[in-house]
Amino acid sequence: MRSNDQIKGVVFDFNGTLLWDTRLHNEAWDRFLRKHDIELTDKQKNDVIHGKNNSSILTALFKRSLNEGELNQYIHEKESMYFELCFRKGIDYAPGAERFIDFLKAGHIPYAIATASVKENVDFYFDHLRLGSLIARDYIIYDNHKIKSKPDPEIFLIAINRLGLRSDEVVIFEDSFAGIQAAQNVKAGRIIIVNSNQEDYSMYGYQVITNFDQVDKTIFK
């Protein structure tokens, strides 16, 4: 990793990192799996689902290539279950996340989001979770069915390029094992893990936070 004074920007993962909704995605996927008579162990769910984009997940679940119509149908089906749970159970941003973004704005520190969510979800967050008050749409890189799924670093590379920075000049915030691997693959200047789901990250040597107030802001100076 580079020295602290070279960190000039931020790339956030979204689900489970900025937005603590992992439990709702997990519940929605459980419903989807039951509907389609697919059984997975907890480890398989972590390997196949967490941090991956829908195209990668669904191809793995059905063990075959899906045409665009099938893919869109299954994505809409699963995300509709997720939206219903969001309305019924409620979701919100990570502790300290909005304060941290206010700090970035005040310091003119560029930031972007690189998420496995599809456009339907991003629209939902703008409509129901005031996402537009946190970030402009142009700085949200989402799953368009063309970008490779994490742990491939492509989505992070796109986000970093959008910021006009090098990989070693950004800190990446992630929660999923696939996302952490993608951040390593892109050779980020710093990786900070957000533990929103009581996971065990002891195999990594990175800082683990449960509140964005725990971020050492001097890394940007």
Peptide bond before residue 151 is cis, with ω within 30 degrees of 0 = yes
Nearest 5°: phi and psi at 180?
A: -65, -40
In this predicted structure, the answer to whether residue 205 has a pLDDT above a threshold of 50 is yes
Task: Please name each of the domains of the chain with its CATH number.
Answer: 4-20+92-220 (3.40.50.1000), 22-89 (1.10.150.240)
- pLDDT tens per residue across span 175-186: 999 999 999 999
On the 0-12 / 13-18 / 19+ scale of CB atoms within 10 A, 153 is buried
| pLDDT of 213 over the 80 cut | yes
Picking from 124, 56, 116, 48, the residue whose alpha carbon sits closest to that of residue 84 is: 124
Alpha-carbon radius of gyration of the chain: 17
pLDDT (average), residues 81-95: 95
- 47 against 201, higher pLDDT: 201
Instruction: Give per-residue pLDDT as tens, 153-171.
Output: 999 999 999 999 999 999 9
Our measurement of the distance from residue 108's CA atom to the centroid of its chain's CA atoms, rounded to an integer in Å, reads 23
| Token pair 């964005």: residue | 212
Q: Is 6 helix (H, G, I), strand (E, B) or coil?
A: helix
Confidence of residue 5 (pLDDT cuts 50, 70, 90): low
Degrees (nearest 5) of the Cα angle 7, 175, 165?
Answer: 25
Per-residue pLDDT at 98 exceeds 90: yes
Q: How far apart are CA 189 and CA 184, in angstroms?
A: 9
What does each C-alpha distance from 115 to 20, 33, 99, 103, 153 come to in angstroms?
13, 22, 20, 22, 12
User: What is the tens place of the pLDDT at every residue in 27-50?
Assistant: 999 999 999 999 988 788 878 888
The average pLDDT across 121-147 equals 96
